[in-house]
Structure 1
Amino acid sequence: MTTRLNGHCPNCGGELVRRPVRPEEALRRHPASTLRRHAQ
């Protein structure tokens, strides 16, 4: 993906970066939801 887009977002032209990893302690205190919500 980075090669084809040359490292830039096709929507805003910003730099593509890796998504940050959630710290293990934060994940224990506030686990990710299993419920998906969709806007209507």
Structure 2
Amino acid sequence: MNQFALELGSILELEAKQQIAAVLWSALASVLSLSTRFGR
């Protein structure tokens, strides 16, 4: 049971990191698009 909990925790941690990375990438893309839009 403890091993299963550890594996589940690692999977959830990995998914959380992927979601955080996706949010950061979308924010970076929006900032880049805004900077290029206002830069010209």
TM-score (structure 1 length as normaliser): 0.24
- Taking structure 2 as the reference length, the TM-score comes to 0.24
Answer 1 or 2: higher relative contact order, Cα 8 Å, separation at least 6. 1
Larger proportion of helix: 2
